[in-house]
Amino acid sequence: MHNSELHAQLLAKFAAQYGGAPDFIAYAPGRIEVLGNHTDYNEGFVLSAAIQHGTFFAIRRGKAGLCRLTAGDLMVEDAFAAVDPGKTTVNTWANYVRGVLHGINEARGPAPVADSCFDALFFGDIPLGSGLSSSAALEMSAGLAIARLYEHSFTHAELAKIGQAAEHQFAGCKCGLLDQLSSLHGRAGRLVFTDFRTLGVKTIRLGGDVCFLMCNTHAKHALVDGEYNRRRQACEDAAAYFGKKALRDVSVDEFNARKAGLDATTAKRASHPVTENERVLRGVEALACGDLAAFGQLMFQSHESSRVDFENSCPELDTIVDAAKEIPGALGARLSGGGFGGSAVVLTTPENAGAVSRKLADAYAQKHGAPCDIRVIEPSDGAHLC
């Protein structure tokens, strides 16, 4: 059983809130994005990994005529209609589950209200706002659990799209499918390589004795404030300028030859996913050859593109990446996730993880007054019913 202590706490909280035990429990992990920043909604390529931190979702059939949902960390309950959950402006964390329920209802069609009510509680250990996609972990664990309760099945692609629609329609963030697919397809010791045009997924061995460090800056990480959506719009505008379905279809050479026709800001924004797609494919080649040094350099280059062209980094993330460049044993580093705060991911080895962590924490504290939170990340198995 993954994370038995967290699982035990979930059961205790469920019993305290509702009495008795759940009918079903699902688990979904968070994710790190290793290469492929903002390429998912541009129909490009991403290398990611599910991590050993995630969210449990416990559920049982309800009796009160409503769905009741409790956030296990707060022990606060939200209630909503089973057939038409709608959005809430009070317990906004519930919108992710409400959105998933809405999508499942649309997929399975009309059902008796009495058979649709449930009591549920979720509880996890992904730091909120850390760029590790606690929202997708909640969506995918909720989706698996609700679908099981309703005796309805979905493919991974179908469930990921339900989670994405919940983000778009209920949370107000026009995310791609990276977070959801990474959470579903994770595999221990492997990276998840996704083609976001076909949604084809395969796992790739990391090779060598390597690990990742998650460096949580606790810097502001709120993508619904419009910055994420504005960048996505710029990418769509650039694709239209090139006459392409998505920026995935624009080569680096074509981009450089014609970018002068774009306004300066749109050109900078589009440059990032165009070049990032190339970095992902080169990264796959580097892993196949066991060239971790080359892979690490691609991570550094990815962050520089985020910092300069996409402008979705921040001083806190830059401090970590700049420090990693000077620390022996740190092979590569970049921001992970949507950006604008959150976490950076650093490639290192288990042997060097302790020393690299201490040096990173010291460098961060000297610049920002307090050390950032650093923990070792293990590529782990994906979402499942427990």
Active site residues: 179
What strands, in cross-sheet order, belong to the sheet with 343-348? 332-336, 343-348, 211-216, 373-377
Cα–Cα distance for residue pair 307/215, rounded to 1 Å? 17
Give the alpha-carbon dihedral of 226, 103, 97, 12, to 10 degrees: -160
Q: Are 309 and 268 in contact (CB under 8 A)?
A: yes
Angle between helices 292-305 and 264-288 (to 10 degrees): 170
Name the residue among 102, 197, 204, 110 with its Cα closest to residue 157: 197
Q: Are 331 and 353 in contact (CB under 8 A)?
A: no
Q: What is the CA radius of gyration of the chain?
A: 21
Give the alpha-carbon dihedral of 34, 35, 40, 41, to 10 degrees: 110
Mention every residue, 6+ apart, whose C-beta is less than 8 A from residue 48.
Answer: 31, 32, 33, 34, 36, 178, 182, 191, 192, 194
CB-CB neighbours of 230 under 10 Å: 11
Mention every residue, 6+ apart, whose C-beta is less than 8 A from residue 226.
Answer: none
CB-CB neighbours of 23 under 10 Å: 14
